[in-house]
Amino acid sequence: MDGMSLLTITVLAVFVGFEVVSKVSSTLHTPLMSGANAIHGIILVGAIIVAGQAADPWVLAVALLAVVLATANLVGGFVVTDRMLEMFRGRQRPASKVDAVEPAEERRP
Amino acid sequence: MTLLNPTWTALLYLAAAACFILALKGLNSPRTARRGNLIGALGALLAVVTVFVSVKLDNIPWILGAIAVGSGVAAPVARRVQMTQMPQLVALFNGVGGGAAALVALLELSHSDDPWVRLAIVFTLLVGAVSFAGSGVTFAKLQGLMTTRPVTFPGLPALMALVLLAAVGAGVVVMLNGSLVLALTLLVLGLAAGILLVLPVGGADVPIVISLLNAFTGLAVAASGLVLGNVLLVVAGTLVGASGTILTRAMAAAMGRSVAGIMFGAFKGGSTAGSTAVSERPVRSSSAEDVAVLLGYAQRVIIVPGYGLAVAQGQHTAAELALALEARGIDVDFAIHPVAGRMPGHMNVLLAEANVPYESLKEMSDINSDFRTADVALVVGANDVVNPAAKTTSGSPIYGMPILEVADARQVVFLKRSMRPGFAGIENELLYEPQTTLLFGDAKDSLTKVLGAVKAL
């Protein structure tokens, strides 16, 4: 892909990035940060490409180290975010009505 | 094996990128957050499968082995980590991501002859290394492996300037001739810069630094995408870089800080007042029964949870105590400071786990005026977020941070382990005020005793 298209995509991605998190409440700052953290673990794709093209054993070793680190970032990031968000069950809405998804057992008697 | 054609590859990457955007969007609301995270993970899986079927790869068994090692280590750790240790784990994952980006860039150096591509390599190397080392230091600070207080020494700003200058010099040479030795030098300089950047940051500001380094890693990943000509890496990295920047600013705003102030405040000096010395001044300590009487005959009680509650795993007991008080007809709310615990939202997560209903968790701006009408403010394992020094002592590291106005309540009860100061390392004058009562001990033990005494009233 040529440089101009990449630049266009980058600039548009900046605006999307600004837009998607502009109005998030402080309650969700931590999970959001953790989720974004997981997403940049996608560097794994780059690490796989480099490792897959390595001919020299040293290059392969360093590339495999990158694969391990990137996988830890990607997998660990999504799992830990899910862990945090598990805790948000049962307090779905500020509304006082008991909704169908989460039965009354989640609420206080 | 036949490889996927470029059009299909591009389409699959596009789908993965869309998943990432939907993931961030979903994380905006508690209702859709978990689904959002799953969509993100799905996008990542799609992207990894795509790379295997679209690029001619050697060493596949090795790569699969490395992926197995990475997931085998990270997933159980992430699954089992205590909620209190979550922040440092996020820092750690962020750091290794930055490290991976730097390594990828280093290995691509020999394949690139375009100076502009080499510029992207230089950027990835430097920023990835800063993120790796900086996250390492934040991890050490949060894990208690080193002091949480700002670490400064004379000449730190000069040293930092020197390192950055050397990095720019090395970067220019690498860009022009692609020297591997200088690229390695750049990596080392990046690591040094990362350490120097985070050392002077005080404990209470560490969450904001994690968020900032998260944005850095995003930018490093985006630059590595430019190096490899991979659009998905560019989009995903840029998304994280941009959203991470906004998030960092939002977190800093919630604490009444500016990002520049946090990063450079300690460099300027003068903002590191505070002491870990334990004062000998008298305080009023009391028994669980006395506290139970205070609480049991109040009309309105506001509970202020903090890190101590999280460490002691006392959230369930706190929720029970709230129930017991409500059964006596007492109005009970939880006042949540935006950065109570170690990260924004930390307390909400813990109390939600203990099934405290959403309506009882009040944000700081909503509840601060209510302390005036409260009979008792029960501070459980919190310190810095109720410390009036944030309003009165201009030299204090937390000066300017909005606090919960517990001093306005008729009575203030602190459940504390000891007189040791909080994370920011400064004393709390409120502990010595006449309306303050202290109950020493582990937060969960104290809560259990108070709960028993309330039930016996």
Domain boundaries, chain A: 28-87
Same-domain check for residues B256 and B304 = no
Same-domain check for residues B165 and B214 = yes
Same-domain check for residues B242 and B373 = no
Whether B375 maps to a domain, the answer reads: yes
Whether B143 maps to a domain, the answer reads: yes
The interface residues of chain B toward chain A in range 55-114, judged by CB-CB distance below 8 A, are 55-60, 62-63, 65-67, 69-71, 73-75, 77-79, 81, 83, 86-87, 89-90, 93-94, 96-97, 99-101, 103-104, 106-108
CA distance between the termini of chain A: 60
Does residue B349 belong to the interface with chain A, where contact is any CB pair within 8 Å?
A: yes
Pick the closest to residue A39 from B173, B163, B235, B14 (CA basis). Answer: B235
pLDDT per 10-residue tile (average), chain B, 457 residues = 85 96 90 92 97 93 97 94 83 96 95 90 97 95 83 88 95 92 96 94 81 96 94 95 91 76 59 47 83 91 89 87 92 87 75 82 88 92 85 76 88 85 74 87 90 90
pLDDT value at position B45? 97
Same-domain check for residues B345 and B426 = yes
CA distances to B259, B260, B270, B413 from B265, in Å:
9, 7, 8, 33
Interchain contact, B242 vs A14, CB within 8 Å: yes
Closest residue in B to A20 (Cα–Cα): B25
Rounded Cα distance between A67 and B65, Å, is 10
Interchain contact, A31 vs B348, CB within 8 Å: no
* pLDDT surpasses 90 at A60: yes
| Predicted-assembly ipTM surpassing the 0.85 threshold | no
How many CB pairs below 8 Å do chains A and B form together?
Answer: 376
Dump the DSSP string for B195-250: HHHHTTS-GGGHHHHHHHHHHHHHHHHHHHHHHHT-HHHHHHHHHHHHHHHHHHHH
Pick the closest to residue B103 from B172, B187, B229 (CA basis). Answer: B187
Whether B361 maps to a domain, the answer reads: yes
Same-domain check for residues B251 and B346 = no
Q: Which residues pair with B378 in a beta bridge?
A: B303, B413
pLDDT value at position B431? 86
pLDDT value at position B240? 96
Does residue A7 belong to the interface with chain B, where contact is any CB pair within 8 Å?
A: no
**Cβ atoms of residues B405 and B368 within 8 Å:** yes
pLDDT value at position A88? 66
* Domain end (from B267, B296, B321): B267
Whether B20 maps to a domain, the answer reads: no
pLDDT value at position B274? 42
B116 CB neighbours in chain A (<8 A) are 3
Pick the closest to residue B66 from A74, A66, A54 (CA basis). Answer: A66
Rounded Cα distance between B377 and A45, Å, is 51
CA distance B187 to chain A (A): 14
Mapped onto helix, strand or coil, the DSSP state of residue B96 is helix
Same-domain check for residues B87 and B165 = yes
Q: State both tokens at B9.
A: 């590859």
- Binned at pLDDT 50, 70 and 90, residue A95 comes out as very low
Interchain contact, B27 vs A28, CB within 8 Å: yes
Whether B279 maps to a domain, the answer reads: no
Q: State both tokens at B271.
A: 């903002």
Q: Which structural domain, as residue segments, surrounds residue B178?
A: 81-267
pLDDT value at position B350? 80
In degrees and rounded to multiples of 5, residue B105 shows phi and psi of -65, -40
Does residue B443 belong to the interface with chain A, where contact is any CB pair within 8 Å?
A: no
Interchain contact, B214 vs A33, CB within 8 Å: yes
Does residue B324 belong to the interface with chain A, where contact is any CB pair within 8 Å?
A: no
Q: State both tokens at A27.
A: 């309650």
What residues of B act catalytically? 384
B214, B215, B216, B218: CA torsion to nearest 10: 90
* pLDDT surpasses 50 at A92: no
pLDDT value at position B323? 92
List the CATH number of the domain containing B452: 3.40.50.1220
- Binned at pLDDT 50, 70 and 90, residue A94 comes out as very low
Interhelix angle B259-268/B206-228, rounded to 10 degrees, is: 110
Q: Give how many domains chain B has, as a whole number.
A: 2
What's the pLDDT tens digit per position in A18-56?
988 887 777 788 889 999 999 999 999 999 999 999 999
* Domain end (from B267, B299, B322): B267
Same-domain check for residues B247 and B152 = yes
CA distances to A91, B57, B59, B93, B191 from B63, in Å:
42, 10, 6, 20, 26
CA distances to B36, B88, B247, B328, B340 from B299, in Å:
41, 39, 38, 9, 25
Same-domain check for residues B193 and B87 = yes
Same-domain check for residues B241 and B381 = no
Q: Which residues pair with B301 in a beta bridge?
A: B332, B376
